[in-house]
Amino acid sequence: MRFTFFYKKTFWNGKKSDGRKGPRLLISKKSLSILILFLTSWGTVSSEPLSNFAFYNLKKERIVLSDSLREFSKKDLLILNFTGSTCKPCKEQVPILQRLTKQANLLSQRGHKVKLWIVFVGDDFDTGKEYSKILKLEKETETLVDPLASSYDQAKINGLPTVFVLDGKQEILLRIEGFTEAGNVSLENFLNSFTKRE
């Protein structure tokens, strides 16, 4: 079975309103199924590698994502939170992420370790330091800045806050956009199942 999509609204069954034939795009049922599968999985859970890029810590040292993840064991996860100083929901989300990270590390009985990185997108170093204090980011939480906001293009984020859960292979295991109760529950359930794995 084939589906026909038309170039303009004036086309119907491949013909213009004056009866002449016009361009058509034929897409097979299989191609359409793959497209729908791709679109429905985008933005939730996927196992795609995150392109490599760098942030800066508050000491202005360059931190390369792939280099840091190489130091992770196979049992470790990274919660990468893209946030901003002017984003009110972001400020509400950070304490929840800290609590879930601590909870996952306490419940882990098989050597799993969850690390939390907070990335201030579009903020300078001084703002990153200031909000690190305001949000009471602890030693277990790595505070980073992305002063040029390159995360939007490199990590393909649409807005703030956005949370990725990554493994040592840089694969995105969970992606949450925005700050919602459903997103918090998804993250908590994911971390709970992760800590019970072998």
3-state secondary structure of 175: strand
Name the residue with tokens 């969850």: 114
Residue 21 pLDDT class (50, 70, 90 cuts): low
- What is the full DSSP assignment across 88-140? HHHHHHHHHHHHHHHHHHHH--SS-EEEEEEEEET--HHHHHHHHHHTT--TT
Q: How far apart are CA 107 and CA 104, in angstroms?
A: 5
Name the residue with tokens 């490199």: 154
* pLDDT per residue as tens digits for the range 92-143: 999 999 999 999 999 887 788 999 999 999 999 999 999 999 999 988 899 9
Residue-level pLDDT at 196:
80
Task: Say which CATH topology domain 48-195 has.
Answer: Glutaredoxin (3.40.30)
The residue among 68, 79, 86 whose CA lies nearest residue 122 is 86
The domains of the chain are located at: 2-41, 48-195
Q: Please name the amino acid found at residue 90.
A: C
Provide the whole-model pTM: 0.75
* pLDDT per residue as tens digits for the range 34-93: 444 333 333 444 455 666 789 999 999 999 998 999 898 888 999 999 999 999 999 999
